[in-house]
Amino acid sequence: MSRALEIRSSQGSPDAPRACLVCGSQKLGPRFCTECGTELVPPVIVMHAVGPVWAVNGHVLTVVAEEDLRRTILDTAAGIAQAATPVRVVITDGARVTRVVLRLDGSSVAEGDDAAAWAGPGVQPVTPIRSRPSLVGVHAGAGASTWALLLDLQEVQLADEPTGPVVLVCRSTPAGINATKAAIRALGTDAVDAVLVVADAPGKPVPAAAREQRVLAGAVPVAAVPWLPRLRAVAEISPALAGQLARPVQRITKALQGAQTAKKEKA
């Protein structure tokens, strides 16, 4: 067993952010941005001291030879962070620095010098409520590719006639919602788990779009995706960006899980 001399919840840091890294708001709560809900908890800092001795947020941890180093370190980091969202971890081993995002299922993604050693699967596979849906963008620029990466779902094209359940993705404009209605008519409501309506701009959608979105919600579950400035002109989703967007991603994931549960109960 690992021997951590002292494991305590992290306390407030003098380096805590003064503005949200995602939306820039200064309306910050103790753990979350009150404007967009992004978690503000700083990353867990892991340092290799010598031999089997590591430090996790300053707490000494000895990892014996028969233990899985990655699993032991990341499980300890999760226990210290006590977060309800993915945890960011910065690992320093001499001159080598690796940045990790530890997901709620125990799996991790990493970038940096030792990314291959710190990325990996969770302790147990996640059992889906229903077969995993595919994301389908109903018009150009809907945001399906970005959200497929963030939600770890497959993206397929509407023209491919998906054979399994789908989550449709559109922008919060009248044209985007009308395209979604046309897709639902083509696929049938039974094939659509939910619709992600991605904000097209900061603030509330235009009144016409808001009305159409309420009508749409009467047919299928709708999850409203807020305006996230950090996603503008993003070519790829890095572990650091995934960590910054953990809170809104968790909300969307829960909304999709709720939609799947409703589908299962209805069936």
Contact yes or no for 22/36 (Cβ under 8 A)? yes
pLDDT tens track for 71-124: 999 989 988 877 666 788 999 999 999 999 888 788 889 999 999 999 988 754
**Where in the chain are the domains?**
3-118, 134-266
Question: Which of 6-20, 23-37, 57-71, 119-133 bottoms out in mean pLDDT, i.e. has the lowest?
Answer: 6-20
Q: How far apart are CA 235 and CA 218, in angstroms?
A: 34
Which pLDDT score, from 0 to 100, does residue 170 have? 97
Contact yes or no for 224/172 (Cβ under 8 A)? yes
Which residues, listed in sequence order, are joined to residue 241 by a DSSP beta bridge?
none
Fold of 134-266: Rossmann fold (3.40.50)
Contact yes or no for 179/138 (Cβ under 8 A)? yes
Q: pTM of this prediction?
A: 0.54
